[in-house]
């Protein structure tokens, strides 16, 4: 199982795990050292890792990945409602449901490639979103979102103990999944996912996916049936999204249809591109950066801006506050759009390419990372 990993891979993996595990301490000086945000980093990191397996390796740009996230969330919350507040079954249910859903959608969508594939996935995701809002209300609870209630059956829990007063907490065999335990649960999932992704990247299967990206026709001429490989990649990627969705539900047990909207699918595309398509660490980095700045920028207001620019003379200060005010608070999406455009225009390889360029400038020889980048430069499947 561990055959294909080189010493560098192991170092990368250990380094990654270490960085994730000590992040509550290292990120505190940056104002990000609290569990709710750290959980988000991990969850969206997993989502982006999974998306990258599909888009980064095969070049198939799915615009409907949020559907799997939503399905994972709903499945997880139903597991809380019907069986037990333990998160392990809910995560399993989430992954399984998203995986099954991905098999169906992937089987149909993968009959086409290029922009047709993007539109097909988008169409399926929008259908699920619209249905979750309207007809499927008995399952999804429509606009209100699926929530825990006091009279849920919760068969397994209630068989062992009488239900207490108030809504129960999600837990992992008795450990409450709020605060830092919740974060470490998500962090564990992220590290496992990272390891699996690394294995996929280094495996013959990953090589096959890359070959599909660079020239699918040639693959077919040499006698490979590319469809099963693509479908496997699609389902794996859908299961990652399902895991991310169920973790969302595990840390905060409710699920709403807006998680499936196409803007949510767009967000994971942004994360992956920002970090670096086809790289191992890039998507996690992109997810972290976007969620971090979303949090920081949204919390800025006029007062904090005035404090920031207090060193300027009065007239200049007003101008600076006005200008900066466009980009913070509600204007966070504007900042996101601008950053995103700049990245696509000037740095198509994302942050990872930026780091590689800087390293090159500094004269550091980092063959391994450059080789990885050249293998992962963005190219669509056509």
Partner 1 sequence: MDAIIIQILNGLDKGAAYALIALGLTLVFGTLGVVNFAHGALFMLGAFCAVSFNALLTWPIQPPKAEGQLFAPKAIPFMEHQFGELGAAIVNWSVPLSILIAIPVMLAIGLIMERGLIRHFYKRPHADQILVTFGMAIVVQEIVKKIFGANPIPQSAPDIFNGTANIAAWLGMTDAFIVYPWWRLIYFVFAAAVIGAVFAFLNFTTYGMVVRAGMRDRETVGLLGIDIEKRFTVVFGIAAVVAGLAGVMYTPILPPDYHIGMDFLVLSFVVVVVGGMGSLSGAVLAGFLLGILQSFASMNEVKSIFPGIDQIIIYLIAVIILLTMPRGLMGRAGVMED
Residues that bind partner 1 (CB under 8 A): 59, 61, 108, 111-116, 118-120, 122-124, 126-127, 130-131, 133-136, 216, 262-263, 266, 269, 273, 326, 330-331, 333-334, 336-338, 340-341, 344-345, 348, 378-380, 382
Residue 264 CB, nearest approach to partner 1 (Å)? 13
Centroid of chain to Cα 275:
12
Residue 280 tokens read as 């191992």
Beta bridge partners of 255: 146
Please, are residues 131 and 117 in contact by the beta-carbon 8 Å criterion? no
Beta strands at 175-176 and 171-172: parallel, antiparallel or unpaired: antiparallel
Question: Cα(51)–Cα(61) distance, rounded to whole angstroms?
Answer: 9
Q: What's the min distance (Å) between Cβ of 207 and partner 1?
A: 21
List, in order, residues 6 or more apart from 302 with CB less than 8 Å away: 321, 325
Q: Is 67 helix (H, G, I), strand (E, B) or coil?
A: helix
Structure tokens at 105: 């959608």
Produce one character per residue of 244-267: b if its CB has 16 or more CB atoms within 10 Å, e if not.
Answer: bbbbbbbbebebbbebbbbebbeb
Which CB atom, from 10 or from 116, has the smaller least distance to partner 1?
Answer: 116
Residue 336 beta carbon to partner 1: minimum distance, rounded to whole angstroms: 7
Q: Which is nearer to partner 1, 21 or 347 (CB)?
A: 347
Element (DSSP H or E) covering residue 96: helix 87-109
Tokens of 119: 């539109």
Using the minimum distance from each CB to partner 1, give the nearer residue, 59 or 168. 59
Instruction: Using the minimum distance from each CB to partner 1, give the nearer residue, 88 or 127.
Output: 127
Question: Closest approach of Cβ 221 to partner 1, in Å?
Answer: 14
**Minimum distance of partner 1 from residue 288's CB (angstroms):** 20
**Coil, strand or helix: which one is 124?**
helix
The Cα-based distances of 167 to 130, 176, 253 in angstroms read 29, 13, 10
Q: Which CB sits closer to partner 1, 252 or 258?
A: 258
C-alpha 246/C-alpha 77 separation (Å) is 8
Q: Which is nearer to partner 1, 33 or 331 (CB)?
A: 331
Taking the C-alpha atoms of residue 51 and residue 58, their distance in angstroms, rounded to an integer, is 11
Which one, 23 or 58, has the nearer CB to partner 1? 58
CB of 24 to partner 1, least distance (A): 32
CB burial readout 353-370, b (16+ within 10 A) else e: bebbeeeeeeeeeeeebe
> Considering beta carbons, is residue 41 or 60 the nearer one to partner 1?
60
Backbone angles phi, psi at 134, to 5 degrees: -110, -80
Helix (H, G, I), strand (E, B) or coil at 113: coil
Q: Residue 375 Cβ, how far from partner 1 at the closest point, in Å?
A: 16
> What's the min distance (Å) between Cβ of 28 and partner 1?
31
Query: What is the total residue count of the chain?
Result: 382
The minimum distance between CB 104 and partner 1, in angstroms, equals: 12
- Which lies closer to partner 1 via its Cβ, residue 130 or residue 298? 130
């Amino acid at each position: 199982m561990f055959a294909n990993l080189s010493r560098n891979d192991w170092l990368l993996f250990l380094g990654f795990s270490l960085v994730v595990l000590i992040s509550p301490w290292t990120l505190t000086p940056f104002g990000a050292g609290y569990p709710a945000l750290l959980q988000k980093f991990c969850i969206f990191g997993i989502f982006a890792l999974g998306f990258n397996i599909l888009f980064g390796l095969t070049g198939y740009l799915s615009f409907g990945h949020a559907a799997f996230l939503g399905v994972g969330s709903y499945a997880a919350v139903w597991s809380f409602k019907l069986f037990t507040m333990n998160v392990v079954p809910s995560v399993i249910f989430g992954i399984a449901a998203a995986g099954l859903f991905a098999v169906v959608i992937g089987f149909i969508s993968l009959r086409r490639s290029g922009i047709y594939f993007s539109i097909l996935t988008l169409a399926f995701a929008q259908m699920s979103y619209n249905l979750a809002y309207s007809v499927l209300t008995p399952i999804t609870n429509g606009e209100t979102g699926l929530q825990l209630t006091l009279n849920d059956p919760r068969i397994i829990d209630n068989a062992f103990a009488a239900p207490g007063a108030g809504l129960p907490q999600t837990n992992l065999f008795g450990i409450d999944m709020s605060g830092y335990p919740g974060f470490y649960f998500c962090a564990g999932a992220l590290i496992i996912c990272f390891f699996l992704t690394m294995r996929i990247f280094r495996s013959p299967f990953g090589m096959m996916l890359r070959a599909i990206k660079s020239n699918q026709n040639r693959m077919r001429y040499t006698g490979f049936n590319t469809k099963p490989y693509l479908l496997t990649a699609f389902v794996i990627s859908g299961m990652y999204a399902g895991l991310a969705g169920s973790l969302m539900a595990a840390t905060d047990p409710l699920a709403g249809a807006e998680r499936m909207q196409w803007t949510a699918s767009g967000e994971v595309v942004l994360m992956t591109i920002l970090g670096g398509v086809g790289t191992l660490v890039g998507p996690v980095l992109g997810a972290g950066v976007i969620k971090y700045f979303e949090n920081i920028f949204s919390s800025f207001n006029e007062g904090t801006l005035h404090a920031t620019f207090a060193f300027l003379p009065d007239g200049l200060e007003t101008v600076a506050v006005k200008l900066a005010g466009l980009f913070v608070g509600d204007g966070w999406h504007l900042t996101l759009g601008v950053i995103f455009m700049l990245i696509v225009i000037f740095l198509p390889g994302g942050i990872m390419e930026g780091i590689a360029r800087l390293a090159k400038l500094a004269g550091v020889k980092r063959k391994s990372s450059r080789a990885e980048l050249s293998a992962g430069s963005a190219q669509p499947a056509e």
